[in-house]
Amino acid sequence: MLLLPQFKDLDCDTRSSEDFNRTWPQSQCQLAMAMYRRSSTHRSSGAVKSIDTTFDTQTTMKYMTQFLESLCESIPPSVVSAQTIGEARFVHIINEYQLQRISYWFMAPPAPVRDPMINRLQGSKTVWTLYLSTKLFQALRQDPCSVTTRGYIGWIDKFEQELRPDSNNKLSLNDAADHLLAQLELVYLSFVAVDTNSGYNLFQKTLPEFLRLVAVDPKLTVEHPNGSLVVSFPRTLGAHQHELKRFLVYDAATAFVLGVPPLVEYGYDGECDPTSHGFQWVHGVPIALVETISQVNSWRAGSRVAPLNDWRNLESRVLAWNPQPVVAGDEPTGNVARLAVEEGWRHVALIYIYMGMCGTSSHDPRVQASIRQIVRLGESIADLPIGLHMFIHYVVAGIGARSEKQRSFLREKLLSFKGARVWLFRGPELSRVLDHLWHGVGAGGAPVTWDDYVQSRCAVVPI
């Protein structure tokens, strides 16, 4: 049985990490919820108001209440503890972490998207990893190099070992789904708290659980012309299981940014349902363009099945894409900023098609036009919190940036992504990759290819 570790309070003078073998009780969660409800009206005028202006305060607070209710309900009544966290402290720890995570989201998701995501938090393993996340991020903010922080980071591997499938103990499908979601939370922690190499290695270990869950539902696979079964990207992204969607997004993102082959071979039978997932609300990336990026990943891995047999199929779809109307309770400037981020994703996808699939260099006029547009869009929202969702845009634009002015702007933006943890990747780390590219093959504004970028990534961030 995996025990939730009891971490000592992280005061400023804390420099040790002990007692990783305690749990916190159900009754205390219920008391914490009562306290949370009493204090929520006060928080809405303070901490919550400081959240990114793209959020509706009431919606965010309702989401937080539902999250804590789900969290508390998921802890078994039989759990007992010799050392408990005070009610107020519990509220502070969980609320602080979730407010931080939600404040980085593109916008608060609607109920049909939000509710399934909340329901999935009821798995016991997921709750434990979320609590580890809470304590780890708190420690990172206080002192990234402390003994306490290193202790929490060490628990990522310990949790992962406990979550590894046991061939002698067949899990139910619900338990397997809980395991996968907990593993993916650990993947996220490993990427942002350790390094890219550790995060990706941990992500590779989630593949067997993902394939097992997909194999249960025949609708999630499709037959290729050669007779082989592959995972249907649009159907899986539209599935009810949040953990399957999260795996797909992680697979698409790592293959795209790191230049590695995707872990899974996908089929693209039809189009993704733009309303069936939650990641556009979290990251601001339109789902149609996520699919396009995944299609280029698959092409680069060797797939030539339609529509991947002609890059023009992908280009025409990206050019024809239009943003979905969004109803939000904030100022018009918030909607304009969202549109800037989404339009930037169109140009990210176009650059990837031209450079990653067609093999053009960064000097291609179409590539340069998209880079200029990304820089303009980035400058237009540079002083807004929502600008952190331009992270991938800056990486892709940086690959083909020619002028020192563009490179300086993009380097500065990437170096600013130190505490904002929306994506798996770190801004300073990818900035070093671009510096290697700019001072190597791209010195003096010389043309570069996507493969040149991948070579720089391999040199600076080996996996």
CA distance 381 to 309: 37
Q: What pTM was estimated for this model as a whole?
A: 0.76
**Residue 26 domain flag:** no
Nearest CA to 36 out of 86, 82, 92, 84 is that of 92
**Residue 372 domain flag:** no
Query: Strand 266-267 relative to strand 221-223: parallel, antiparallel, unpaired?
Result: unpaired
Q: What is the pLDDT of residues 64-111, one digit of tens each?
A: 445 545 544 444 443 334 334 444 454 455 455 555 555 555 455 656
State which amino acid sits at residue 332.
P
Q: Is the pLDDT of residue 178 over 80?
A: yes
State which amino acid sits at residue 398.
G
Over residues 430-454, mean pLDDT: 98
**Residue 254 domain flag:** yes
**Residue 213 domain flag:** yes
Kindly report the backbone phi and psi dihedral angles of residue 7, in degrees, each rounded to the nearest multiple of 5, phi listed first: -95, 140
Q: Is the pLDDT of residue 173 over 50?
A: yes
**Residue 5 domain flag:** no
**Residue 21 domain flag:** no
Give the range of the structural domain holding residue 258, as residue numbers without chain letter: 167-322
Over residues 383-405, mean pLDDT: 90
Cα Rg for the chain, rounded, in angstroms? 22
**Residue 245 domain flag:** yes
Those residues whose C-beta lies under 8 Å from the C-beta of residue 306, and which sit 6 or more positions away, are 313
User: Does residue 207 contact residue 264 with C-beta atoms inside 8 Å?
Assistant: yes
**DSSP secondary structure letter of residue 232:** E
Task: Using CB atoms within 10 Å of the CB of residue 177, give its burial: 0 to 12 exposed, 13 to 18 middle, 19+ buried.
Answer: buried
Q: What is the pLDDT of residues 347-365, one digit of tens each?
A: 999 999 999 999 999 999 9
Q: Work out the pLDDT band at 61, boundaries 50, 70, 90.
A: very low
**Residue 10 domain flag:** no
Q: How many domains does the chain have?
A: 1
